[in-house]
Amino acid sequence: MVIEKQDVVIVGAGAAGLMLAARLAEGGQSVTVLEAGPERKLNDLVSSQIWARKLKWSEPAVSESGDHKIGHAFNAGSGTGGSALHHYGVWLRMHEGDFSLNSNHGVGLDWPLDYAALAPHYDRVQSEVGLSGDSVQERWRPQGAPYPMPPLPLFTQSRLLAKGFEKTGRHTAPLPLAINSEPYQGRQSCQYDGWCDAGCPIGALGNPLVVWLPRALAAGAKLEHNARASRVIRSAKNTQLIESVEYLQDGERKTIQADRIIIAAFAVQSVRILLSSATQQHAAPGDHSDKLGRYLMTHPAATIFGLFAEETYPHQGVTAGQLLNHDDYDKKDAPGGFGSSQWMIGHAIKPHDLLGYGTNRPDITGAALEPWLKRASRHLGNMTLVCEDIALPDNRITLSEKVGPEGIAYAHAHHDLDATAAARWTQRMSEGADIMRAAGASEVWSGPRIGQHIMGGAVMGEDPAESVTDAFGRVHDTDNLYVAGPALFPSSGAVNPTFTISALASRQADHLLNQ
């Protein structure tokens, strides 16, 4: 069946793609979303860390290089909801200083917009999704509407760790979360079981299946699953116009035409699709100045663990954690390194899987293991450091030499961590160990430094010579091709990106509807 020409085709059914589908369809546009992965429903979200791996991007695998890899297999999702289906719901606003890194500090890139331009969209989206938090205690928060729900209750582990921050002269506040602390818009409240990574089937966590998908479908948007976009195709008559998306579905190569095309396929696949769209006659859309794929970013992050005499019940709560510390966030130039940093405190944690406490003590094996696990299951505390990455041009997404059986090129991601950002990470990790000991931990250790969240690759900017898209995500050398999602970010800040992804998409939606 050939789908008739649409007003809008969106590639990717994640946080940005499904929000845009909902808003544009509600605005009277005909919308089709192409999603590479399978249809996901709430009853697919089985409470198991092993089953949870089904939700992640698998093939075509992204090859990686560099001294601080992006961790695509853990960070990227597949299927309805994308990576937002298994995200942990930490919804933090970027701070004002995150938007002008180059102007203020001479490093990285500036955004072509400031916090004030996004603020009304942060406010609108937090009401639509439902955020819990305390905007008064969160003293570092930029100006904005109060959270619609009170914060989640504080569990034993977090109360204990908060003492470490207090004793070292630091402040904590409830972590703002897209998780219901009370029933909200027909969705029930959280049950604090820590299965967030496996996806929340009860609607307490505001994933795209429960927030945007129902609205998109009610407004007439269509979703095509197992529809893997291979490239976009320029009009032969007007090369500024992108007339269609080519995709593979059911073993067939198909195309769908639209007046406007939005690539919202998460950072790596969005760039892959654009790079694959180059022809002998024309460079890839957005690659007019060799910036497509560049400025790839991932937050350097790590978890610190401690064992306490007190019982902490670390299975309770939510995977994201319960408390936040941003005391150092706006001190990007502080001695010892460069960049913002944050602590997320008190994760609900499992004994196994990538983030599990058993996994992060490979030195303990054999007969000693189970007694240790039993002790950790009742006496563990943990918190995660997230530091800022700096956009560097040689950190980039390229097409790999490897081509899949369907003719789709694989992507390669190269990422090295800037030395000053690495120094900041080392500095804060040392401080974190001190905080953990101040809280009373008798034994303190940390997991490895990992890449958390993926951003950049199709950065927005005022100057087409230095960016891929304009301030509304329109690819510079086209009239009607847009990028949405974290690929647009010219800087990473040190906050989880989903709130900013959503606010940007909200702003894009308004722009597209007003054109």
Partner 1 sequence: MPASLNRRQLLSRSTAAGFFMVAGQWLWLTPQEAQARAFEPQILSPDQCNALSSLGDAFVPGAAAGGIAAYIDLQLQAGDDSLLIGKYLGVDTSAQTGFYRAAADNVIALTDESTSLQTFIADMAADSLSNWAGPPASYVLFVLRADALDVVYGTPEGFDTLGIPYMAHIKPEKPW
Residue with tokens 């890899």: 69
| Nearest distance in Å: CB 195, partner 1 | 6
- Return the number of the residue (252 or 363) whose C-beta is nearest partner 1: 363
| Nearest distance in Å: CB 38, partner 1 | 9
**Residue 363 neighbours by CB under 8 Å, 6+ apart:** none
For residue 26, count CB atoms less than 10 angstroms from its CB and return exposed for 0-12, middle for 13-18, buried for 19 or more: middle
| Nearest distance in Å: CB 372, partner 1 | 10
Rounded to whole angstroms, the Cα distance separating 378 from 157 reads 10
- Return the number of the residue (274 or 318) whose C-beta is nearest partner 1: 318
- Return the number of the residue (48 or 257) whose C-beta is nearest partner 1: 48
Question: Closest Cα to residue 69, out of 461, 417, 475, 307?
Answer: 417
For strand 323-325 and strand 341-345, is the pairing parallel, antiparallel, or unpaired? Answer: antiparallel
- Return the number of the residue (233 or 354) whose C-beta is nearest partner 1: 354
| Nearest distance in Å: CB 58, partner 1 | 5
| Nearest distance in Å: CB 209, partner 1 | 14
| Nearest distance in Å: CB 328, partner 1 | 29
| Nearest distance in Å: CB 348, partner 1 | 10
The CA–CA distances, whole Å, from 147 to 30, 119, 326, 364, 498 equal 33, 13, 18, 43, 16
Residues that bind partner 1 (CB under 8 A): 43, 45-51, 53-54, 56, 58-59, 61, 63-64, 69, 71, 73-74, 191, 193-195, 200-202, 315, 350-354, 356, 358-359, 362-363, 365-367, 369-370, 373-374, 377-378
- Return the number of the residue (46 or 419) whose C-beta is nearest partner 1: 46
**Residue 270 neighbours by CB under 8 Å, 6+ apart:** 11, 12, 263, 264, 457, 458, 483, 485, 487
Handedness of CA 482, 484, 486, 489 (dihedral sign): positive
- Return the number of the residue (169 or 366) whose C-beta is nearest partner 1: 366
| Nearest distance in Å: CB 184, partner 1 | 18
Task: Output the DSSP codes for 353-418.
Answer: STT-TTTT-TT--GGGHHHHHHHHHHHEEEEEEEE-----TTSEEEEEEEE-TTSPEEEEEE----
- Return the number of the residue (299 or 326) whose C-beta is nearest partner 1: 299
- Return the number of the residue (382 or 469) whose C-beta is nearest partner 1: 382
Amino acid in the structure at residue 403? V
Question: Closest Cα to residue 383, out of 441, 442, 454, 424?
Answer: 441
- Return the number of the residue (106 or 362) whose C-beta is nearest partner 1: 362
| Nearest distance in Å: CB 64, partner 1 | 8
Query: Within 13 A of 277's CA, how many CA atoms are on the CB side?
Result: 28
The token pair at 326 is: 């941003």
| Nearest distance in Å: CB 192, partner 1 | 8
Residue with tokens 């955004």: 111
Let me know the angle formed at the C-alpha of 392 by 390 and 398, rounded to the nearest 5 degrees.
125
Packing angle, helices 498-514 and 15-26, rounded to 10 = 30
- Return the number of the residue (201 or 300) whose C-beta is nearest partner 1: 201
Rounded to whole angstroms, the Cα distance separating 252 from 250 reads 5
